[in-house]
Amino acid sequence: MKKGIHPKYYNDCKVACTCGNAFVTGSTVPEIKVEICAVCHPFYTGQSKYIDTEGRIERFERKRQTATTLKVKLAKKKAKKAKREDKKAIKTGKKTGKTQTKNSKKAKPVKPS
């Protein structure tokens, strides 16, 4: 192996679980903290256990609410910009084509039969 390119290896890495279990193993970090170990894992204990350590549902709801808020703000901003451009076009006498009125729609061509 090349020297100086590999991380330091600790033979006495301490692993601590939230259930209180602790054991020693080898790793590249001196200490590891875990939420689930072999002592408290539902597969080994036979007990069902709901684990939501990060609040995934709450985090998802927060993201969804933010996305909805941003979508509404963006729609308002686009409408405001289109209205501003229409006012500017009226002053200069040009058509922008951003918003359509009843009279500005083009008629469809009629196919000969």
Q: What is the pLDDT of residues 19-77, one digit of tens each?
A: 999 999 999 999 999 988 888 887 777 776 666 666 778 888 899 999 999 999 999 99
pLDDT of residue 77: 92
Strands 31-34 and 10-17: parallel
Helix (H, G, I), strand (E, B) or coil at 13: strand
At residue 99 the predicted structure's pLDDT band, cuts being 50, 70 and 90, is low
CA atoms of 12 and 27, how far apart (whole Å): 8
pLDDT of residue 64: 93
pLDDT of residue 47: 74
Give the DSSP letter of residue 99: S
Beta strands in the chain (DSSP E): 10-17, 22-27, 31-34
**For residue 111, is pLDDT > 80?**
no
CA atoms of 101 and 13, how far apart (whole Å): 72
pLDDT of residue 57: 81
pLDDT of residue 95: 61
